[in-house]
Structure 1
Amino acid sequence: MNELILQVLTFIISLFGLAGNASVLWFLGFRMHRNAFYIYILNLAAADSLLLCLYITICLIEFILHINIFTNGFIQMGVFIFYIAGLSMLSAISTERCLSVLWPIWYHCHRPRHTSATVCALLWALSMFLSILDWASYYHLNTTEKHYKKVDLTIIAWLVFLFVVLSGSSLTLLGKMLCGSQRKPLTRLYITILLTVLVFFFCGLPFGIYLFSLEWILNFSQVHFYLYMVVIILSCVNSSANPIIYFFVGSFRQRLWGQNLKLVLERALQDTPEEDEGGGSLSQGTLEMSGSRVEQG
């Protein structure tokens, strides 16, 4: 009974999260003027949506067939790809914002065009390569346990690197906002990034730790099954929370509840100080100019 409750909870959270991320994909992909950060957010929403689709599939198959489909190699590979890609995109967003704060002149004047699209493509390719390599070495390459663990260690090293980059850039942003004589003005983009990172630390990180420690220190049992379900639920919350963060930040202190979702999303990603808003909502042109100083596409 407890297992059924956890599976239903996972299914419901994933459905709502998928709807929210689909809205973000729609607006950023087809309805809004793209810039550097929009491209990262678009790819992050894509990774979260695909991961949630996998969770929904897992719940349906386990509910109907009563088997642990998560142990299937293809399912694991898909989860690895989208989890690594999501963490990679989040690290890239935080790092890019950190660079724009530390070296604003270089960032706005000399940053190569199409950097965001190139970085996202490379991160997706690397996520797929590492996940497929892990799957192939375990199921098809007849490698020894020693060789397989080397592949696993390589993936873990990459995740640790991403975590260090994410932590370092986030702390730098926080320090620039709160400390020193040259504090940067608070913008909604700052708040959006920091809240997204905070949610990942509490909800996304436990899943990564569990996922890549499973082969090393855990033996599957009933207790570990409940632990697995808990980290799956936390991962669902992590992948579902970003649209809620965008809506909350975009509508905070503005009477936009129930109004234009496109405007709410634009406000959540705007990079102009709060005091520059003049107590009212910014026009469409102002919102686009605040984010498009760097690149188009």
Structure 2
Amino acid sequence: MDIGISTDDEDLPPILLTIIISLVGLTGNASVIWFLGFRMHRNAFYTYILNLAAADFLYLCFHITEVLTEVIEIILPIHIPTYGIIRTGAIIFYIAGLSMLGAISTERCLSVLRPIWYCCHRPRHTSTVMCALLWGLSVFLSTLERVCFSYFNTTEAPCKKVEFTITAWLVILFVILSGSSLALLGRMLCRSQRKPLTRLYVTILLTVLVFFFCGLPFSVRLFLLVWIQNDSNMLTCLHLVSSVLSCVNSSANPIIYFFVGSYRQQVQGRNLKLVLERALQDTPEEGECGGSLPRGTLEMSGSRVEQG
């Protein structure tokens, strides 16, 4: 699928906006990778957040390269042959980031709805193995798509089958995100089985919410490009909107961590490591819900450090 869209001078403002947002996102995600990868003890949940930050960082790297390629093609009437490879890389990391977010929501939902079962039956290295599988699946699907569209026409059966497979996986992830988020929200609001609100709840729900508003248009674009290839005006508009919003989606998570981690706290004198730890805190704070409450059963809260 060649998802590059012809551009002109009118497209420069959104392209420049995309570059600015991407640079901010690269800085934020690099900070998260540094702290989670080298400065903090890593538990199961941190492993997912680290891989999500890595996927967002790499997506922004490939996406900003794609945008700069478009700028060059606007200024100079040349065609850059590596554009398809750049786009394939961006799709790999987009699918990987969405897959990590789906895994985070699923594990969190299981830990809340079935805490005893989850604590007793969850293998120790689940998050590491799951992240490796999701990375492998993302690379496989995106590479298969690039190879298929290099040898077949987009209307031929092999390409349609590949597109159907990728679309089915994206739909599954959307259903998982929607279902797990609604389950978590319902558990928090249900009076009979109400769970104390923690910063981790807020972080996950805000991350999912930002994805639905900013990350979803990119998936819609991938799906529609196969069916409306003759509508160049619609594709150009969809390309520009989804380009900006996808950068917002990949850049927003570090800002969410900072906002949630520093909320109701004196930011002065607190380093970013403490702010990040607070954003991923899974224990109610003293003074919330009538006082200090016992620690949750979720291993991913940090009580057990996952090795490997």
Q: TM-score, normalised by structure 1?
A: 0.90
Question: Secondary structure at 2:227's aligned position in 1?
Answer: helix
1:208-246, Cα deviation, whole Å (9 max, x unpaired): 111221111243524531321111000000000000000
Given that 2:21 and 2:247 are in contact with CA atoms closer than 8 Å, whether structure 1 keeps it comes out as yes
When structure 1 is superposed on structure 2, of 246-255 and 142-151 the one drifting more is 142-151
Where do residues 112-131 of structure 1 align in structure 2 (5 Å cutoff)? 112-131=123-142
Go from structure 1 to structure 2 and tell me whether the alpha carbon gap of 1:123 and 1:257 turns closer, same or farther (over 3 Å shift).
farther
When structure 1 is superposed on structure 2, of 104-113 and 248-257 the one drifting more is 104-113
Given that 2:225 and 2:235 are in contact with CA atoms closer than 8 Å, whether structure 1 keeps it comes out as no
Where do residues 76-91 of structure 1 align in structure 2 (5 Å cutoff)? 76-91=87-102
2:279 maps to 268
2:70 maps to 62
1:101 maps to 112
Question: 1 CA distance for matches of 2:212 and 2:106?
Answer: 16
2:31 maps to 23
More helix by share: 1
2:159 maps to 148
Question: 1 CA distance for matches of 2:179 and 2:79?
Answer: 37
Go from structure 1 to structure 2 and tell me whether the alpha carbon gap of 1:289 and 1:206 turns closer, same or farther (over 3 Å shift).
closer
Question: 1 CA distance for matches of 2:196 and 2:148?
Answer: 49
Given that 1:210 and 1:231 are in contact with CA atoms closer than 8 Å, whether structure 2 keeps it comes out as yes
Residue correspondences, number:
289
When structure 1 is superposed on structure 2, of 189-198 and 223-232 the one drifting more is 223-232
Question: 1 CA distance for matches of 2:211 and 2:32?
Answer: 18
When structure 1 is superposed on structure 2, of 177-186 and 122-131 the one drifting more is 177-186
Q: State the AA in 2 paired with 1:2.
A: E
| 1:37 and 2:49 are equivalent in the alignment | no
Given that 1:203 and 1:237 are in contact with CA atoms closer than 8 Å, whether structure 2 keeps it comes out as yes
2:20 maps to 12
Q: State the AA in 1 paired with 2:121.
A: H
Question: 2 CA distance for matches of 1:20 and 1:118?
Answer: 26
Question: Secondary structure at 1:63's aligned position in 2?
Answer: helix
| 1:201 and 2:179 are equivalent in the alignment | no
Where do residues 220-259 of structure 1 align in structure 2 (5 Å cutoff)? 221-257=232-268, 259=270
Percent of pairs identical after alignment?
A: 71
Q: State the AA in 2 paired with 1:95.
A: T
1:181-201, Cα deviation, whole Å (9 max, x unpaired): 111110100000000000000
Given that 2:44 and 2:300 are in contact with CA atoms closer than 8 Å, whether structure 1 keeps it comes out as no
Query: Any unmatched runs of 5+ in structure 1?
Result: 280-287
1:2 maps to 10
Question: 1 CA distance for matches of 2:201 and 2:81?
Answer: 36
Question: Secondary structure at 1:215's aligned position in 2?
Answer: coil
Go from structure 1 to structure 2 and tell me whether the alpha carbon gap of 1:226 and 1:141 turns closer, same or farther (over 3 Å shift).
closer
Question: 1 CA distance for matches of 2:164 and 2:197?
Answer: 39
Given that 1:192 and 1:268 are in contact with CA atoms closer than 8 Å, whether structure 2 keeps it comes out as yes
Go from structure 1 to structure 2 and tell me whether the alpha carbon gap of 1:172 and 1:294 turns closer, same or farther (over 3 Å shift).
farther
When structure 1 is superposed on structure 2, of 91-100 and 104-113 the one drifting more is 104-113
Given that 2:92 and 2:142 are in contact with CA atoms closer than 8 Å, whether structure 1 keeps it comes out as yes
